């Protein structure tokens, strides 16, 4: 296989008219350039140049090879310049993997402002609660909550873990009463992540730092936190939710704390990407958007239903 660097050297030497001038412009010793051209001739099995102390001239084969290669070399140089210029102003496509309910807590207005600021950037969202394979799915950045799996990927936290707490709607508490202990949760409808058994184990910490486990069950389960949050607001049971997702509802009285002496350490939200090196400028700009917007909020800016009159 031809070394494209040798081909580029050959074209440059031809245009400069001598090894000395080409060496001066490239900042490379003339004997190095001469050796590279000799290597190219050896690979091609033909002489490309006739050399003398005063000048060089192309053989017929050399002239034909130059005419065929010069435009391609120029194209590669132009492509490199265009890419470097593109790195100065963010441009191109950014593929983002995010949870299915991502835009329930990330206002579309934030994305609109980002696209207005960077008119040459396109964003393609892949919304799914399944964990995307960044390499196989050609994902530039994934937004993930929960525990991060050990891998060769890089992660940047954009939302602190905080604490998860038990909550329910006032209507549910009025109908079923408030549990006075963890043991009494067994008699309540608890909103849990989907499992064939319909049961779940909540691992909680008490105020004195001791860890406890409680088995809970309910008639409604799901695979997203947003579903469980909306079910709690609808009065369908008790949920264990991140405090960043419930502070507003608690302040508005749409939810009330249940057994507030117990909590669970959360896992926060991270952005995950395959490499820190040579990130496209559009990807870097998008990462900063997420980090800045979510980092500025102690409460996730989610819409809540109006309080009934």
- CB 95, CB 286: distance < 8 Å: no
Identify the H or E element spanning 63.
Answer: helix 60-88
The pLDDT value given to residue 99 = 84
pLDDT reading at 149 higher than 90:
no
Q: Which CATH number fits domain 92-161+268-295: 3.10.110.10, 3.30.420.10, 3.30.870.10, 3.40.190.10?
A: 3.40.190.10
pLDDT, one tens digit per residue, over 259-289 is 999 998 876 778 888 766 667 888 989 999 9
Residues 6+ away with beta carbon under 8 Å from 27:
none
In angstroms, what CA-CA distances link 65 with 16, 48, 69, 75, 113?
16, 8, 6, 16, 51
- pTM confidence score: 0.55
Q: Sign of dihedral through CA atoms 230, 236, 240, 244? A: positive
Q: Which CATH number fits domain 4-83: 3.90.950.10, 3.30.930.10, 1.10.10.10, 1.10.460.10?
A: 1.10.10.10
For residue 53, give both structure tokens.
């102390």
Secondary structure of residue 256 in the 3-state scheme: strand
Domains 92-161+268-295 and 165-256 share a fold: yes
For residue 57, give both structure tokens.
């001239």
pLDDT reading at 139 higher than 60:
yes
pLDDT, one tens digit per residue, over 40-90 is 899 889 999 887 656 778 899 989 988 888 888 888 777 766 666 555 678
For residue 27, give both structure tokens.
């900042």
Per-domain residue ranges for the chain?
A: 4-83, 92-161+268-295, 165-256
Which tops the pLDDT comparison, 171 or 135? 171
Q: CA–CA separation, 145 vs 226, rounded Å?
A: 12
Residues 6+ away with beta carbon under 8 Å from 227:
101
Q: Which CATH number fits domain 165-256: 3.20.20.210, 3.20.20.70, 1.10.760.10, 3.40.190.290?
A: 3.40.190.290
């Amino acid at each position: 296989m031809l070394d494209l660097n040798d081909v580029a050297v050959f074209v440059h030497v031809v245009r400069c008219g001598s090894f000395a001038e080409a060496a001066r412009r490239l900042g490379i010793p003339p004997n190095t350039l001469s050796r590279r051209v000799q290597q190219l001739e050896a690979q091609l099995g033909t002489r490309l140049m006739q050399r003398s102390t005063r000048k060089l001239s192309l053989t017929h084969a050399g002239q034909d090879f130059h005419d065929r290669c010069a435009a391609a070399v120029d194209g590669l140089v132009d492509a490199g310049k265009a890419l470097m210029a593109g790195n100065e102003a963010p441009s191109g496509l950014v593929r983002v993997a995010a949870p299915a309910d991502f835009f329930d807590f990330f206002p579309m207005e934030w994305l609109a402002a980002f696209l207005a600021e960077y008119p040459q950037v396109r964003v393609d969202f892949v919304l799914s609660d399944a964990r995307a394979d960044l390499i196989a799915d050609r994902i530039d950045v994934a937004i993930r909550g929960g525990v991060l799996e050990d891998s060769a990927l890089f992660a940047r936290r954009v939302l602190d873990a905080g604490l998860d707490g038990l909550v329910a709607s006032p209507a549910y508490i009025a109908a079923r009463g408030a549990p006075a202990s963890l043991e009494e949760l067994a008699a309540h409808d608890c909103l849990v992540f989907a499992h064939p058994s319909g049961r779940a184990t909540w691992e909680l910490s008490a105020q004195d730092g001791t860890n406890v486990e409680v088995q809970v069950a309910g008639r409604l389960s799901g695979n997203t936190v947003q579903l469980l949050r909306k079910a709690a607001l609808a009065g369908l049971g008790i949920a264990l939710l991140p405090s960043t997702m419930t502070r507003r509802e608690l302040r508005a009285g749409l939810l009330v704390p249940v057994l507030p002496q117990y909590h669970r350490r959360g896992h926060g939200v991270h952005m995950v990407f395959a490499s820190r090196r040579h990130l496209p400028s559009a990807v870097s700009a998008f990462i900063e958007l997420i980090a800045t917007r979510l980092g500025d909020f102690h409460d996730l800016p989610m819409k809540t239903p109006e309080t009934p009159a």
